[in-house]
A = this chain, B = another copy of it.
Amino acid sequence: MIRILCVGKLKEPYIQSLILDYAKRISKYHQLQIIEVKDENSLEKERDSLLKNFKNNEYRIALCLEGKSFDSIEFAHKINETFINYPIITFIIGSSLGLSEDIKNACHLKISFSKLTFPHGLFRGILLEQIYRSFKINNNETYHK
């Protein structure tokens, strides 16, 4: 199972549609669960909400600026390899406040998609697109767009 653990509601309807589209596409390959916790005025409160949603048997990946950067092929292979040993991969995206150090330390891996900062809603869409792309790559299916 792929889990997306994220903070805060989506505002723009077009971002909701973007995420819905890729969630639907991913679901043809793999079970997907998106868990959205409430955004708070403190990193600590957001940390506590995220921690409550951790599972024992999951491989946790934090998305943060200081993470390791991957290209799309490497990212796809990483997902493939991880599923050999773990039934669940959980991606964690912070709010505009970022992610608490406690959360980052509780993750098996930190990944950075870019040095640039993106809005968290758009970033959720970017992550889902890249996960979908991974399944296309791992299944040797063409994907040009």
Contact = CB atoms under 8 A, between A and B. Distances in A.
Interface of A: 11-15, 17-18, 21, 65, 69-72, 75, 96, 113-122, 125-126, 129-130, 133, 144-145
| 9 nearest A-B residue pairs (beta carbon) | A14-B17, A96-B144, A14-B14, A71-B115, A114-B114, A119-B145, A72-B117, A14-B18, A72-B116
Contacts of A113: 114, 116
A143 to B, nearest CB: 9
A116 to B, nearest CB: 5
Given A113-B114, A116-B70, A145 B11 contact: yes
18 contacts: A12-B21, A13-B17, A14-B15, A14-B18, A18-B18, A65-B71, A69-B114, A69-B115, A72-B115, A96-B144, A113-B114, A114-B114, A116-B130, A118-B129, A119-B145, A120-B145, A122-B125, A122-B126
B17 A96 contact: no
Nearest to A71: B115
Contacts of A114: 69, 113-114, 116
A116 B126 CA distance: 10
